[in-house]
Structure 1
Amino acid sequence: MGADQPLTESNNKGPIRGGVAIDAARQQNAQTPLRRAWWLLAAAALAVFLVLTIGYSVTRSPWWDEGMFADVAMHFRNTGHLGSIVLAPHGYLNWPGVHEYTYWQLPLYLLTEGVWLRMLPATIQYARLLSVIWGCVYLAAWFLFVRGLTGDGALSTFVTAVVAMDYAVLSAASDARMDMMCAALGQLGLASYVSLRTSKPILATALAGLFGAASLFCHPMGAVTTVSIIAIILFLDRRSICWRGVPLAASFYLVGFALCIRYAMENPAIYHAQSSAAASYRIARVAGALHSIVYDVRNRYFAYYFWFLEGAARLKVCSLLFGLAGVAGIALTPRLRSEVLGKVLLLLAVITYVGVALVDNQDFPIYFIYSVPVLTACGAFWAYRWWARPLIWRFAAGALLVAATIASTGAFALKIHANYFRRQYLSAVQVIKANLPAGGTVFGGAELGFALGFGPQLVDDRYLGYGSGAPLPALYVMDPNYVGMRSEKTAWQESR
């Protein structure tokens, strides 16, 4: 019997190994269609994202912010220095020396856009294409972020696909502002850390610092992404932080601050005047900050997604409700709340909501890109996990997801069809060119520079020279959003 034992084991091991191999092959064959389905979902989401963002980039009427930032970028492209070409020194806020220095905004996006427009034509469509590309980077970072936390490729693909359809993401990715770049760099910081924290902790910490610092020097909202990165590092690894990577991470911030200080020291008086004026209406005292945190959900979120709209446009609120339902679903479901992704998303939701309220107390919707996609990711995670629950819960999550997706994509399809670039912007430009005498100047928003050129022919002075002393123009172009920003009354404001 003892002599037969090895033979018995050998005989038993053969079928077992064969069975395992057969089962593995069957499992792999069964997973192949599923894996293909997730790849198809990712490809479809990316295709819809590109169609909507590029389509809206082509048909959206330019607005003042896009022109103001392109004005500085064009000056850098042409001269190698930051400064405005068309913005009058006192035509918006009290910004002396604005033609020679740009101290009112952090520089990284302006430099990037200047290089971008050096390689491509200086049109609004090409300026927006830069944001479309950063939007793709943002989505890739979301995929890496979720996969780094969960190791689940299917969940990562699903969350990324849902985030790609988010209204705030589609809007920021078709806007020639720095917000898409700033948010993408911040998300890359999160993604790089969670993806490499166990295998290459020094590199993970260094990359988190690199991308976080780059985000910060795009826009002050980069402070929100920086706090998010630090919070996630502490949450995940507070007892095992890779201290050898911290000096590397900090060095990127120190270098950035040193360069900014070096630039500010070129003219400290102008720096103080411009930066003080830019911050004067943004930074609130403690009471104002608390008010913003408490009422931002009403004054910014529901105002933009519901109250300021009429008719079918109010269906846009489904995009917001889906994210809020996801937050509630994770918070109230112990199993979801116990997962690391659930905990991280809830933490990010709190940080980004509070951060946006503190950095911007003007309730501008352009900053939704820093907070709303986190809510949408909460909704996607909640819907994905609830799909395995009884039918009624599955239906609730699925219905909200479908409604949010249709509301976002449908809204942008209608915007593209409206083509306000042709109907409003080009029509206005034709009237301007037809009535502008030779050598005459136009007072109007900087966005007119995309059609008239960023040069002396165009002056961005909404106060008609009241503060700058500029002579009256041949034409003045009115716009519903072209209103006074300074607190004191002006002759121009009173005359209206």
Structure 2
Amino acid sequence: MSNPLRLLDRPRLVFAVLAAVFLAGAIGTALTEKPWCDEGWFASPALNLAREGYMGTDLLETANTHLTGIRERTYWIFPLYPVILAGWFKLVGYSLFTMRLVSVLAGGAILWALFTIVRRLKLDWRVSAVAIGLLIVDYQFLRRASEGRMDALCAAFGYASIAVYLSWRETRLRQAILASHALCAAAMITHPNGGLYFLPLALAQLYFDFRRLRWTDLLAAGAPYVVGFGLWSIYIFQDPQDFLTQLGGNAKNRGVFWTDPLRAIADELRVRYMEQIGGIDPAAGLLKNLKAIVLATIVIGVGGFLSTKRFRSEPATRYLAMATLVQAVALAILDGYRMHFYAVHIVPWYFLLTALFVVEAWRGGRAPARAAIAVWLAAYTVIQAGGAAYPIYRDNMHNGFEPAVAFLRPYAEQGKMIMGSAELGFELGFKSNIVDDWSLGCDSGKTPDVIVEELGYVKNQQSWLSPGDRCYAHVQKLLHHSGYRVAFEQGDFQIYTRDEP
């Protein structure tokens, strides 16, 4: 049987193809996936900072919430992402696509960092090609690398911190320490999950260079955090009470590991790995459960890695195993909500270990083993690529979102109050009469002229408003017994009105 790995004897061609596939998937997703609430929430403060010099968030209803003062100052998210977005908007202009382009670039930076980590650990560069190949067809990675959230940027800073340290450590140790911790500090000020990368970064420095380190290196390592968090504190002290209220409310219930560790471990395995990474749903059909091949690939790959004696003894591969372990444990502890978009902080590590095993098994395997590997990787690629391509084909941007905002525009121009998700601000304006309030005025007492029930909005209502709750009853009464009617229905959107404009 011919050896497909011979194609990897032309690295420039291979990585050019991988880059093209990534860009096609990420940009295609960015152009066709409808926006969602987080993107609207995070665009608003960045746009205000770029245009008016303050970082307040419009549209969000604040009645009976932890969002006190958010129209003046946004404290519930970490500040670097909106600050970078504001500068980006000034440089290239504001739009949903330019916002998403930041994440596309961050996704490319993650791939570069993985390549560099493998190279600087003096491992076979084919390992990085396989790992990147596994990653660029994964829909969850492509979604993170094409949406207006900060997860890809945070991960890019984090992986880059390790890549830069490994690149410079042999010839410029002090500069390596300073630059890597500057990137790690940037990750931390982008999102709390940036703190995850401090552990594998510190591990690299202690594992490879403990005998070379001096106490003065602590100053180089600590300086970026002092500067970064010092600058952030200036913003915090403009209104410390609002900072505590907003950020404290957003962080609520995230530390469940410390109160019920057994439940947290069970939830981590079930929610993050089986449901989110594996896509396993016993109630769904076979087609929807095909994504389980991702989890199966990780389990087989990591298991094969751990069973390979050489990997357990070589410093470079031992480091990757330890880095993966500390990252996985830290993520399980810190993320009590088990958010699906946080998988970008751990899946690339698993794919590095899997790629090491794949390359090793191919080299040492006979024809039947190689055939099994080839078939498995082909099946993985087809299933993952199909899952990534389908949303692009479905195009709910042009087949749902844009027709919905076209219907809403006359109402917005007349100043009618529209209750719906914040992403409507991309087309109707963030300072318009749009109110993002899942309870539809239950606490604020506001009565909308138009109600936009989009699938994601409905899911949020179902998640946060329990049957029997007064606001749940209010929503049901408003939608079904208050004179509203469905005036528009397309894609994921149902729009309720009282009168035609």
User: Into which bin does the TM-score normalised by the smaller protein fall?
Assistant: 0.7 to 0.9
Question: 1:181 and 2:153 equivalent?
Answer: yes
Distance 2:103 2:308 in 1: 37
Question: 1:494 and 2:473 equivalent?
Answer: yes
Q: CA deviation at 1:76?
A: 1.2
Please, which of 213, 230, 241 is the counterpart of residue 269 of structure 1? 241
Q: CA deviation at 1:40?
A: 1.3
Please, which of 28, 36, 47 is the counterpart of residue 74 of structure 1? 47
Please, which of 310, 320, 323 is the counterpart of residue 348 of structure 1? 323
Q: What is the identity, as a one-letter code, of the residue corresponding to 2:373?
A: A
Distance 1:232 1:400 in 2: 33
Report the structure number with the largest CA radius of gyration: 1
Question: Could you tell me which residue of structure 2 aligns to residue 144 of structure 1?
Answer: 116
2:438 is paired with a residue whose SS is coil
1:228-273 deviation digits (Å, cap 9, x = unpaired): 2112222223333354433122111111222222222211221121
Counterparts of residues 237-276 of structure 1 (less than 5 Å) = 237-276=209-248
Please, which of 44, 56, 66 is the counterpart of residue 94 of structure 1? 66
1:281 is paired with a residue whose SS is coil
Q: CA deviation at 1:317?
A: 1.7
Please, which of 328, 337, 350 is the counterpart of residue 362 of structure 1? 337
264 and 487 in structure 1: CA distance in 2 versus 1, 3 angstrom threshold: farther
1:82-115 deviation digits (Å, cap 9, x = unpaired): 1102112237x42110101111111001111122
258 and 435 in structure 1: CA distance in 2 versus 1, 3 angstrom threshold: closer
Counterparts of residues 244-323 of structure 1 (less than 5 Å) = 244-284=216-256, 286-304=258-276, 305-308=278-281, 310-323=285-298
Question: Could you tell me which residue of structure 1 aligns to residue 26 of structure 2?
Answer: 53
Distance 2:212 2:103 in 1: 37
Counterparts of residues 191-270 of structure 1 (less than 5 Å) = 191-270=163-242
CA contact (8 A) 1:89 1:99 kept: no
CA contact (8 A) 1:327 1:346 kept: no
2:77 is paired with a residue whose SS is coil
438 and 107 in structure 1: CA distance in 2 versus 1, 3 angstrom threshold: same
CA contact (8 A) 1:296 1:363 kept: yes
TM-score by length of 2: 0.86
Q: CA deviation at 1:133?
A: 0.8
Distance 1:80 1:475 in 2: 31
Q: What is the identity, as a one-letter code, of the residue corresponding to 1:37?
A: R
Return 5+ residue gaps in structure 2 as ranges.
1-5, 477-501
Distance 2:439 2:80 in 1: 29
Q: CA deviation at 1:450?
A: 1.0
Question: Could you tell me which residue of structure 2 aligns to residue 85 of structure 1?
Answer: 58
CA contact (8 A) 2:200 2:327 kept: yes
226 and 43 in structure 1: CA distance in 2 versus 1, 3 angstrom threshold: same
After the TM superposition, which of the residue ranges 214-223 and 471-480 deviates more from structure 2?
Answer: 471-480
238 and 269 in structure 1: CA distance in 2 versus 1, 3 angstrom threshold: same
1:439-486 deviation digits (Å, cap 9, x = unpaired): 2121111111111111132221222233345x3221121133323576
Q: CA deviation at 1:283?
A: 2.6
TM-score by length of 1: 0.87
Number of equivalent positions: 462
168 and 376 in structure 1: CA distance in 2 versus 1, 3 angstrom threshold: farther
Distance 2:60 2:308 in 1: 53
Please, which of 348, 356, 359 is the counterpart of residue 384 of structure 1? 359
Distance 2:373 2:320 in 1: 18
CA contact (8 A) 1:202 1:244 kept: no
Q: What is the identity, as a one-letter code, of the residue corresponding to 1:408?
A: Q
Which of structure 1's runs of 4+ aligned residues deviate more than 4 A? 33-36, 434-437, 484-490
After the TM superposition, which of the residue ranges 177-186 and 158-167 deviates more from structure 2?
Answer: 158-167
Q: What is the identity, as a one-letter code, of the residue corresponding to 1:47?
A: A
Question: Could you tell me which residue of structure 2 aligns to residue 133 of structure 1?
Answer: 105
396 and 296 in structure 1: CA distance in 2 versus 1, 3 angstrom threshold: farther
Return 5+ residue gaps in structure 1 as ranges.
1-32
After the TM superposition, which of the residue ranges 324-333 and 336-345 deviates more from structure 2?
Answer: 336-345
Q: CA deviation at 1:52?
A: 0.5
184 and 418 in structure 1: CA distance in 2 versus 1, 3 angstrom threshold: same
Distance 1:48 1:138 in 2: 15
After the TM superposition, which of the residue ranges 59-68 and 81-90 deviates more from structure 2?
Answer: 81-90
1:50-105 deviation digits (Å, cap 9, x = unpaired): 001000100001111111111121121122221102112237x4211010111111
Question: Could you tell me which residue of structure 1 aligns to residue 483 of structure 2?
Answer: none
478 and 35 in structure 1: CA distance in 2 versus 1, 3 angstrom threshold: closer
Q: What is the identity, as a one-letter code, of the residue corresponding to 1:493?
A: Y
Distance 1:156 1:363 in 2: 28
Distance 1:128 1:320 in 2: 27
Q: CA deviation at 1:372?
A: 1.0
Q: CA deviation at 1:37?
A: 2.0
Identity in percent? 29
Q: What is the identity, as a one-letter code, of the residue corresponding to 1:464?
A: L
Question: 1:445 and 2:460 equivalent?
Answer: no
492 and 120 in structure 1: CA distance in 2 versus 1, 3 angstrom threshold: farther
Distance 1:344 1:393 in 2: 28
Question: 1:433 and 2:406 equivalent?
Answer: no
Q: What is the identity, as a one-letter code, of the residue corresponding to 2:156?
A: A
1:165-190 deviation digits (Å, cap 9, x = unpaired): 34432221011100111001101100
Q: What is the identity, as a one-letter code, of the residue corresponding to 2:18?
A: A
Q: What is the identity, as a one-letter code, of the residue corresponding to 2:189?
A: F
